[in-house]
Structure 1
Amino acid sequence: MSKAIYRCIELLRLLTNLQLPQANRMVRERTMYLLQWARPERIMATSNFPIKELRSTGPASRRRIWNLAAPHFGLILQEMFGHIQTLMKWMSLDQLCLHNKNPCTKFSQRCNPSISSHLSQLISHRREPQMAENLIRFGIVGCAEIARKVARAINSAPNSAVSAIASRSLDKALNFAAVNGLPETVKVYGSYHQILDDPCVDAVYMPLPTSLHRRWAILAAEKKKHILLEKPTALDVEELDQILDACESNGVQFMDGSMWLHHPRTAKVKEIISDPKLFGHVNYIHSTSTTSGTKQFLEENIRVKSDLDALGALGDLAWYCIGALLWAKDYELPIQVRALPDVTKNKAGVILSCTATLHWGKSSNETSATIHCSFLSHTSMDITISGTHGSVNVYDFIIPYQETSASFDITSGAKFAELHIGWNTKPEEIEVVNELPQEALMIAEFSRLVQAIRTRGSCPDSKWPQISRKTQVVMDAVKKSIDTDCRPVYL
């Protein structure tokens, strides 16, 4: 079985050396990701084998551990075949064989019969027509930089594909498609109206400036397009309510683009902080989201323009911090929100940096929290959650340090050693491996919900619009406190 996995890896390496047409550059990128995914350490992690021992031993010991993992390889092999199928979905296989004269012939001859047969089917037949019926077809409305990341995610998720791209400038849309290696089958529009009128678009991703969200999201809902809306969702909760009302009345799914919520690490942290014996009651949370903007950014970026993204750092960065605090508190709204007087604004009145405190409950069930967001500080995206029995620290909760895994530190039952010369324990690092990047997991979940609506008549999942609305409510409260000389706002 281990040989079969090596054969799969060999196929992936072969694909990286193919002479691919320009439109299929994403294939090479995806293949390189799969090769990284297929490291022995990754396979051992899936097989629940000791990673530290694997990393600290020599080649002979590695081979021994590898052989011990053989009973688990069946599942791993299935996963790799799934990844290869996803890769093939991206490819114009007719062009592949034309450019390379069926390069997998030699490889197939060296595989055992079952593997050779399976891979031969993948290579010899175009799967796109058969798979198209089950894919959610996305239209991307706007060519912002973040759209590049999400376009990649749409095409790497197993149940979605980019169907169309639109910009107010046709040249900009064409350039986006070319730079990101989108297939020639992707439609390119020079108008947002055109993409919303396209009957072949099931859902839209909107990375537009916040000031444009209300207009275009409502129009999209009226056209029966399911909506993945970039954060912040609106300039205030009144605007967001209009969007959500349009989605509800037209039976379409709504979700905002908070990718970190879909990472498996998030669920693991939640499991720990919800354990009353291990962690206790959550009584303090602190979160930061900061980045050091260049002079050009601070002068020209849409996030500092009052007519485009008037919320500035509050909308762009504090959205994550507020969302994380609410997530840690099971989306219970705080009773009080108050901005601190360290607010920095530009000449147009757009917030560049701010800090706020939030407070929940009374007496033994109370929780306090602080957030800090800034375009003027070194990059950070931390959350610290303290409980009565333990604490958790995540240093990269918004964007993990790497795509294929993420970690966090937990400390439980910590006390000072005698004479207070040390601690009785050290933080434990917990690593969580993920098959796909968090943005692709977000797309997969959104597409699953859309598919259920489309094929089974399911109702849109109300969980996601409720999360967005509560985040918007708290963000509005911080803004109101800032606008009223940092007076407390009660919810």
Structure 2
Amino acid sequence: MSIRFAILGTANIARKVGPGIQNSDHAELSGIASRSRPAAKEFAQALNIPLVFDSYEQAISSPEIDAVYIPLPPALHAEWTIRAAEAGKHVLCEKPLARNSDEVARMIAACQKNNVVLLDGVMWYHTERAARIRNLISNGHLGSLRQISSAFTFHWDSMPMENIRMHRGMGGGSLLDLGWYCVGAILSLFNEMPERVFATAQWHNHVDTRMNAILWFSQGRMASFECGFDTVRRRWIEVAGTERTLYCPDFTRPWSTETAAFTTLDGEGRQAVHSFRYVPQETCMVDAFCQLIRSHNIRHSWLELSRKTQQVCDVLDHSARTEQVVSVGESECGM
């Protein structure tokens, strides 16, 4: 039996994830909820969704809904995740999972108390390409890992103050919007928490509009990343080992809608291209979420990665605001 979804809100990202739910063999998009009925009706008509809810409360209390997708601003993630969990609904929540680690802890506790699955909305983790990258690294194809570097940026001509990304209280800033992907990738591939970090940022309205960061790990390994709203669109990652380098030019979302790929390169310049048939990563994420629900896996490794990604983001934010190197504390990522 398919998992019946409702979407809370009509944000732009919901127009991508909605079809991803509909294209999954394990899910059906049963409802859309909005505080604006005209917006909900328009969304429902566009995607042929049968149920229109006049409020988020109606959606989470409906017996015709099993799970909710939350594309709301980060400031609302904790409230509606907790309320959905208390109503017995599984939760697929957009990234960042919350604004800080305290909120994430409350969200996880509520979902586990009510025996429902919580998954953050990082799609690329659940693709065939990402699985192949993890397998190559864990099998030692690159040798011993030494360095991971990444960038995720896009360019605004001017900073739009009406955008939630420009308001700290709403969970804005380039770190939580873009750097979340870089931090999560670094933690999952090193399979370890950093020992200490340093970040520097440019600020506008108390929000980081650009951040550059260094993360130190055990055994002399390091990572660095850049995120920001003032540079041409980039979304690459490079993983360097003692024997080979892996480079992916578009790790968060393939540039092409036909193939997804990455390359490996040895020390003599010999290159191998690893290509995969493109599958919409929204559907890959929904399939993974449904599998967690069917297996009753409420303490899955992706949730631990989310928790630790938020923890590292908190420390990076503190480092950027104090302009100091900051110790992280924990030593294992749990992936």
- Provide the TM-score with structure 2 as the length reference: 0.94
Match of 2:139 among 271, 275, 300: 275
Contact 2:73 2:171 in 1 (8 A): yes
Match of 2:206 among 349, 353, 361: 349
Paired amino acid for 2:80:
W
Task: Specify the alignment match of 1:182 in structure 2.
Answer: 48
**Mapping for residues 211-222 of structure 1, pairs under 5 Å:** 211-222=75-86
Paired amino acid for 1:182:
N
Contact 1:259 1:442 in 2 (8 A): yes
**Mapping for residues 38-437 of structure 1, pairs under 5 Å:** 134-178=1-45, 180-183=46-49, 186-276=50-140, 278-295=141-158, 298-310=160-172, 312-330=173-191, 332-340=192-200, 343-346=201-204, 348-361=205-218, 365-412=219-266, 414-415=267-268, 425-434=269-278, 436-437=279-280
Task: Specify the alignment match of 1:440 in structure 2.
Answer: 283
Match of 1:452 among 286, 295, 306: 295
Unaligned runs of 5+ in 1: 1-133, 416-424, 454-458
Indicate the SS of the match to 2:135: helix
Cα distance in 2 for partners of 1:345, 1:230 equals 24
Indicate the SS of the match to 2:226: strand
Q: CA deviation at 1:171?
A: 1.4
Considering fraction of residues, name the structure with more helix.
1
Q: CA deviation at 1:407?
A: 0.6
Cα distance in 2 for partners of 1:208, 1:353 equals 23
Indicate the SS of the match to 2:47: coil
Q: CA deviation at 1:294?
A: 4.3
Contact 1:164 1:189 in 2 (8 A): yes
Indicate the SS of the match to 1:317: helix
Cα distance in 2 for partners of 1:156, 1:283 equals 39
Equivalenced residues, count:
329
Does 2:322 align with 1:484?
yes
Contact 1:480 1:489 in 2 (8 A): no
Contact 2:18 2:47 in 1 (8 A): no
Q: CA deviation at 1:369?
A: 0.6
Cα distance in 2 for partners of 1:190, 1:307 equals 26
Indicate the SS of the match to 1:441: helix
Indicate the RMSD between aligned Cα atoms, in angstroms.
1.4
Contact 1:411 1:426 in 2 (8 A): yes
Paired amino acid for 2:38:
D
- Provide the TM-score with structure 1 as the length reference: 0.65
Counting aligned pairs with the same residue, the percent is 34
Cα distance in 2 for partners of 1:427, 1:349 equals 44
Contact 1:339 1:488 in 2 (8 A): no
Paired amino acid for 2:29:
V
Cα distance in 2 for partners of 1:285, 1:158 equals 35
Q: CA deviation at 1:211?
A: 0.7
Higher-RCO chain (CA-CA 8 Å, sequence separation at least 6): 2
Q: CA deviation at 1:488?
A: 2.6
Structure of higher CA gyration radius: 1
Cα distance in 2 for partners of 1:192, 1:166 equals 6
Paired amino acid for 2:161:
E
Paired amino acid for 2:43:
F
Q: CA deviation at 1:165?
A: 0.6
- Higher mean C-alpha displacement, 221-230 vs 443-452: 443-452
- Higher mean C-alpha displacement, 385-394 vs 297-306: 297-306
Q: CA deviation at 1:428?
A: 1.9
Cα distance in 2 for partners of 1:489, 1:291 equals 29
Considering fraction of residues, name the structure with more strand.
2
Q: CA deviation at 1:427?
A: 2.2
Query: What is the CA deviation profile of residues 27-59 of structure 1, one whole-angstrom value per residue up to 9, with x for unaligned ones?
Result: xxxxxxxxxxxxxxxxxxxxxxxxxxxxxxxxx
> CA 1:274 to 1:452, structure 2 compared with 1: closer, same or farther past 3 Å?
closer
> CA 1:294 to 1:164, structure 2 compared with 1: closer, same or farther past 3 Å?
farther
Unaligned runs of 5+ in 2: 330-335
Q: CA deviation at 1:461?
A: 4.1
- Higher mean C-alpha displacement, 383-392 vs 442-451: 442-451
